[in-house]
Amino acid sequence: MSAFMTSAPGKVIVYGEHAVVYGKAAMAAAISLRSYLMVTALSKSPRTVILRLPDTGMEHSWKIDDLPWSAFSHPSKKKHYYDLVDKLDPELVEAIQPHLSVISPTASLADRKIHQNAVSAFLYLFLSLGSRTLSGCIYTLRSTIPIGAGLGSSASISACFSSAILLQVRTLSSPHPDQTPEEAELQIECINRWAFVGELCIHGNPSGVDNTVATGGKAVVFKRGDYRSPPTVTPVRNFPELPLLLVNTRQSRSTATQVAKVAALRKTHPAITEPILEAIDKITESAYDLVSSSAFDPKEPASVQMLGDLMNINHGLLTALGVSHPKLERIRGLIDSLGLGWTKLTGAGGGGSAIALLNSNASPSTLQSLQGRLENEGFEKYQTTLGGNGVGVLWPAVLHNRSEDEGGDEIDQETFLNAEGVEGVEKLVGVGISAYGKRDEWKFWSNVGHANSVETQEPLGG
């Protein structure tokens, strides 16, 4: 089996924070910060599976025959790739515990939790979808998404695991030119269902929003009227790809604290708070109507400004609810002073991150000036895009990066491991941002109403 890679994006909440808690709509969109998983067969070695997370300092191996296959393959437990799994099986969770307890015993509690969460998702998917006959492999995961920042890093990782294992066991085909929209939808749904299982392993009770964005890309509108039921998730297939700044305040925050703050305000001042929440709902609805309109043109400054105006209004309403922070306001002030675009908090607020939709005349020199000012004040900036592709595959792991050779440059485990930081990973294998251009070798399952224009590829084997 040729070495191959899968990749999936992170996400931001674009509109609707906090209102979504009260049954209103919110919109989330993919960003071009992504996770990348490289899979390499170990054909000439013992039957071993190795998982590497070099960005967080974890590596562990298991002998394939020592894993609890009997528990996962029992007729009463065995799941098929097309099954809908909405909860974990307690007996299967218990079966993998001995293989989790040995992970990173000397690491800090925070790092050990990150490592064990990732391993639990990987093993549950590997054992549910694979079989004892799988050959040994190395799985190396790199990510350009900050962990714990509300940017969907765990869902991105789960989508990478899900798609890679489904490809290995030949229940998923790579994107190809004859793929119908219906087939593409089924492929994405299959990846999404198992990415959700990975999220169950990591979060216990995920909404399903993050993994839906990670697999399908673009954007979704979601609404949860009854917390005893899953949310309604509507893909926004024609959401435009737009330039975005993501700025991390590096200010720790508690989602629960911010949610409780709004709940207290709503209880004390219901006549004022309810209209604010209703207005936020109308913003999400207006954004959906805008990008769905045939008159919307993302290349026209007036169209982008309408989206930006909605972001500004949304932030103002969130500030009225008391969930902003001086650091978030400082970021808005810096961006506004340079006339670069429209800025709002994303997520729960109280710290965390801000996003800025860039206007068309944002010059590189002005962006460079902003970066220096943000860095001087301790903020962390990512220049990314909004509304990009979902899960994708690079098979074989070959890119035309440096050489003019017709065959391109093969990406191997050592090169991938040694890529330095976010910039190094993006430069080596990134699916494409402004600094490095698009990489046509990456192929994406399309759920936007047309098949991918790609070369025919053979199915991947285990």
CA–CA distance, 356 with 343 (Å, rounded to integer): 4
Q: Which two tokens stand for residue 343?
A: 């800025």
φ, ψ of residue 229 to 5 degrees: the values are -125, 155
Residue 148, class by beta-carbon neighbours within 10 Å (0-12 exposed, 13-18 middle, 19+ buried)? exposed
Tell me if 199 sits within 8 A of 211, measured CB to CB.
yes
Which string of DSSP letters, residue by residue, matches 411-426? P-HHHHHH--HHHHHH
Closest CA to 153 of 251, 40, 246, 241: 246
Helix axis angle, 181-203 to 209-216, nearest 10°: 140
Q: Which two tokens stand for residue 338?
A: 């340079």
Residue partners of 63: CB distance under 8 A and separation at least 6: 46, 47, 48
Q: Name the DSSP class of 227.
A: T
Q: Which two tokens stand for residue 269?
A: 């001042």
Cis preceding-peptide flag for 396 (omega within 30 of 0): yes
Closest CA to 353 of 31, 59, 90, 115: 31
Tell me if 154 sits within 8 A of 56, measured CB to CB.
no
Q: Which position has the token pair 């040995």?
A: 102
Collapsing DSSP to helix, strand or coil, 136 comes out as: coil
Q: Which two tokens stand for residue 459?
A: 């199915």
Please give the C-alpha separations between residue 341 and each of 172, 278, 312, 344, 425, in angstroms, as whole numbers: 41, 25, 10, 10, 28
Sequence-distant contacts of 252-255: CB under 8 A, at least 24 apart: 252/351, 253/325, 253/348, 253/349, 253/350, 253/351, 253/352, 254/348, 254/350, 255/150, 255/347, 255/348
- State the catalytic residue, choosing from 83, 111, 210, 226: 210
289 is catalytic: no
Tell me if 114 sits within 8 A of 16, measured CB to CB.
no
CA–CA distance, 332 with 94 (Å, rounded to integer): 47
Active site residues: 210
